[in-house]
Structure 1
Amino acid sequence: MKKISLLLLLIAFSTVAQTNPEIAKSATRIEMLFPEGKTKALILSYDDGRTEDRQLVKLMNKYHLVGTFHLNSNKLGTTSYLDRTEMKDLYKGHEVSVHTANHPNLPDISKIDVIYEIVEDRKELERLMGYPVRGMAYPFGNTNDFVIDAMNGLGIEYARTVGDTYNFEIPKDFLRWFPTMHQFAKAYWEPNQPEKDAQEMAHFYTVIKDFLQTKELAVLDIWGHSWEMGTDQNKWNETEKFFKILANNEAIYYSKQIDLVDYINAFRNLKFSIDKNIVTNTSAINVYIKINNTIFKVMAGTTMNLS
Structure 2
Amino acid sequence: MEYLYPGGLPKAMTFSYDDGQVYDRRLVKLFDEAGFKATFHLNSGNLGKRGFVTPEEVGTLYQNHEVACHGVTHRHPLQMTREEWLREVWQDRRALEALTGRIVQGMSYAFGEYTPAEVDALRAMGIRYSRTVSNTGHFGLPQDFMLWQPTCHHNDRLLERADKFLHTPGYEKMPLFYIWGHSFEFDRENTWDLIVQLAEKLADAKDIWYATNGQIEDYITALRSLRQSADGRLLYNPTAQTIWFTTDGKLRTVEPGTMCVL
Query: TM > 0.5 between the two?
Result: yes
Match of 2:101 among 105, 126, 130: 130
1:272 deviates by 1.4
Spell out the pairing of 1:73-112 with structure 2 (5 A cutoff): 73-112=44-83
Contact 2:69 2:92 in 1 (8 A): yes
Contact 1:114 1:150 in 2 (8 A): no
SS of residue paired to 1:229: helix
Contact 1:164 1:182 in 2 (8 A): yes
Match of 2:191 among 212, 226, 235: 235
1:144 deviates by 2.1
Spell out the pairing of 1:185-224 with structure 2 (5 A cutoff): 185=156, 203-214=157-168, 215=170, 216=172, 217-224=174-181
TM-superposition CA deviations, 1:118-138 (whole Å, max 9, x none)? 100000000000010000000
> 2 CA distance for matches of 1:238 and 1:93?
21
Which one-letter code corresponds to 2:143 in the other structure?
A: K
Contact 1:100 1:118 in 2 (8 A): yes
Counterpart in the other structure of 1:152: 123
SS of residue paired to 1:43: strand
Which one-letter code corresponds to 1:242 in the other structure?
A: L
SS of residue paired to 1:184: coil
1:231 deviates by 6.2
1:292 deviates by 4.6
Counterpart in the other structure of 1:257: 213
Indicate the structure whose relative CO is greater, using CA pairs within 8 Å and at least 6 residues apart: 2
Match of 2:33 among 48, 59, 62: 62
Which one-letter code corresponds to 1:47 in the other structure?
A: D
Counterpart in the other structure of 1:32: 3
TM-superposition CA deviations, 1:20-72 (whole Å, max 9, x none)? xxxxxxxxxx4321111111110111000000101000111111111110000
Which one-letter code corresponds to 2:71 in the other structure?
A: T
1:140 deviates by 1.1
Which one-letter code corresponds to 1:224 in the other structure?
A: G
Counterpart in the other structure of 1:121: 92
User: Taking every aligned residue pair, what percent have the same amino acid on both sides?
Assistant: 36
Contact 1:289 1:295 in 2 (8 A): yes
Which one-letter code corresponds to 1:213 in the other structure?
A: H
TM-superposition CA deviations, 1:99-132 (whole Å, max 9, x none)? 0101112133222112101100000000000010
Gap regions ≥5 residues in structure 2: none
Counterpart in the other structure of 2:182: 225
Q: What TM-score do the two structures reach when normalised by structure 1?
A: 0.81
Contact 1:107 1:146 in 2 (8 A): no
Q: What TM-score do the two structures reach when normalised by structure 2?
A: 0.94
Counterpart in the other structure of 1:139: 110
1:302 deviates by 1.5
1:240 deviates by 1.4
> 1 CA distance for matches of 2:84 and 2:148?
22
Counterpart in the other structure of 2:258: 302
TM-superposition CA deviations, 1:151-199 (whole Å, max 9, x none)? 23111000001111100010001111110000121xxxxxxxxxxxxxx
Which one-letter code corresponds to 2:72 in the other structure?
A: A
Q: CA RMSD in A?
A: 1.4
> 2 CA distance for matches of 1:136 and 1:77?
20
